Amino acid sequence: MYGRQRGESSEAAILNIKADIRTMDEAEMERIEEEVDSEERLMQADRISPHRARHFRHRKRRKGCGSSRHGHKQMLCPSRSSHHYDVCITSEQLCDDIADCPGGEDENPTNCLFYKSTKEQLKHIYNTVLLLADHATGQGSHHEL
């Protein structure tokens, strides 16, 4: 289990986990407070719409995700972050036993079973098509996935 060593009781393991949780430093707390203050000032300054305060934290959904800085295609998580931002993940982050989406949807066992089996089936189809194409053209070399 997490941080559990030989002979260590479960209470000691829990204490080790709790000790590993880090608190926010003062600079980060001040930054968050300033952000909240500036948002409140914006809400007070803009009194045109009576629904402004209710919809202030609503952000439009992205239509999709672009590529990561490493060139990997990304997909949109169904849930948003705690700050109401959309989160994008790569296919490598899908079903890797690490929750990358805010709600952990990328590790849902049902979805992962579907994703992994579909990926394997497509890989098999791709390799079969390559084999047939190589046979039809008379070349003996192909690159399997």
Asked if residue 65 lies in contact with residue 71, where contact means CB atoms within 8 angstroms, the answer is no
Nearest CA among 9, 7, 3, 1 for reference residue 21: 3
- Residues 54, 64 share a domain: no
Q: pTM for this structure?
A: 0.43
7 domain residue, yes or no:
no
What's the start-to-end Cα distance of the chain, in Å?
A: 35
Q: pLDDT grade, residue 115 (50/70/90)? A: confident
**How sure is the predictor about 26, in pLDDT bands with cuts at 50, 70 and 90?**
low
- Per-chain mean pLDDT for the chain: 72
Domain with 44 in it: 17-58
Whether residue 99 lies inside any domain: the answer is yes
Task: Based on the fold, state whether residues 96 and 117 are members of the same structural domain.
Answer: no
* Domain contains 132: yes
Output the six-digit token pair for 19: 């000790």
**93 in a domain, yes or no?**
yes
Query: Which strand (E) or helix (H) includes residue 76?
Result: strand 74-76
Give per-residue pLDDT as tens, 78-113: 888 888 888 999 988 888 999 999 999 999 988 888
Tell me how many domains the chain contains.
3
| Within-domain flag for 81 | yes
Structure token pair of residue 21: 């949780």
Phi, psi of 90 (to 5 degrees): -90, 165
The verdict on 114 and 81 lying in the same domain is no
Q: Is residue 2 part of a domain?
A: no
Q: Does residue 35 register a pLDDT over 80?
A: no
Flag whether 6 is in a domain.
Answer: no
* β-pairing verdict for 74-76 and 88-90: antiparallel
Domain end, chosen from 42, 58, 74, is at 58
Looking at the structure, tell me whether residues 112 and 129 fall in a common domain: yes
Q: Judge if 53 and 67 occupy the same domain.
A: no
Q: Are residues 141 and 122 in the same domain?
A: yes
Decide if 73 is inside a domain: yes
Helix (H, G, I), strand (E, B) or coil at 108: coil
